[in-house]
Amino acid sequence: MKKLAVVAFGGNALLRGDEVGTIEEQEKNTKDSCEKLVGLLKNDYNLIITHGNGPQVGNILLRNEAGYNTYKIAKMPLDICVADSQGGIGFMIERQMRNVLNESEIEKNVITLVTQVLVDRNDEAFENPTKPVGAFYLKEEADLLSTSNGWTFKEDPRKRGWRRVVASPKPMDVFNNVLIKSLSEAGNIVIAAGGGGVPVYRHENNYLEAIEAVIDKDLASALLARQIGADQLFIITDVPKAYINFNKPNQKALDTITVEEAKKYVAEGQFAAGSMGPKINAAINFVENGGSEAIITEAKELEKDNCGTRIVK
């Protein structure tokens, strides 16, 4: 019986911080990341790949604004931009994964699913948008855009300007999770829930409507992993392990810790809200709800035994 794993690629798996985002850069990074999954395939894993979309959807929003300002091309809402990023990133991962499989002489199909994720329209996140998206603006520009579009802006903590912020509601249901599980158990590599999924909500008459929000990719990945009964959740980031007292003289890498230990560290404020915090919370969520183990590590560590920080019951 093959093991079932969800592998959540972070944004750095596709686009590194010092890069401008050319297709050549993104394709090289994508292939490098896909190559690290061969070891899991050879160790009898069925794989589902999820991914972030932060830099890419930000660029799509910039094109949105440029197209409107220059040519009056109608702007598309954030949910369509998220769906666009799912398709584009999924295409890159799928094609490079096929190249890696060919080089490794592994015969598998790879399929990308544009994935919707159900949220609650009354989620408190909609009362306090916090997720930054898109470009930096001067205060005067932000005020004008806020008036004309009804957007909310907040000043960047690093004083780089003002940025639009949107809600980041909790994911409630990953659509087509039964199909995703079936495709994976049949031996296919499935790419799904990209960028946390396209957020939708239900009206009382069951009518589905999209909503402008960004779902946390790691929380959506953990939910999908729970729904399909995955054995393990791999959260890929840019460090080999999670740390306590990060960047301090007494910094300590975490190897295997329990859910209770992880919760204690969270309560102590050991993990930054904008980086490791969501990953730890997603790992806790997965293990508490039936998963056997969540691993937080960087892609190149996947080839090593007992890699990363492992959170267990």
Which amino acid would we find at residue 56? Q
10, 11, 90, 308: the active-site residue: 11
36, 181, 217, 241: the active-site residue: 217
10, 12, 177, 241: the active-site residue: 12
Residue 259 CB-half CA count within 13 A? 16
Establish whether 12 is a catalytic residue: yes
d(CA 118, CA 101): 33
d(CA 241, CA 18): 22
d(CA 221, CA 13): 16
131, 195, 197, 241: the active-site residue: 131
53, 241, 279, 291: the active-site residue: 279
Residue 172, classified by CB atoms within 10 Å of its CB into exposed (0-12), middle (13-18) or buried (19+), is middle
Residue 14, classified by CB atoms within 10 Å of its CB into exposed (0-12), middle (13-18) or buried (19+), is buried
Establish whether 131 is a catalytic residue: yes
List of residues 6+ apart from 32 with CB closer than 8 A: 299
Residue 186, classified by CB atoms within 10 Å of its CB into exposed (0-12), middle (13-18) or buried (19+), is exposed
The residues assigned a catalytic role are 11-12, 131, 217, 279
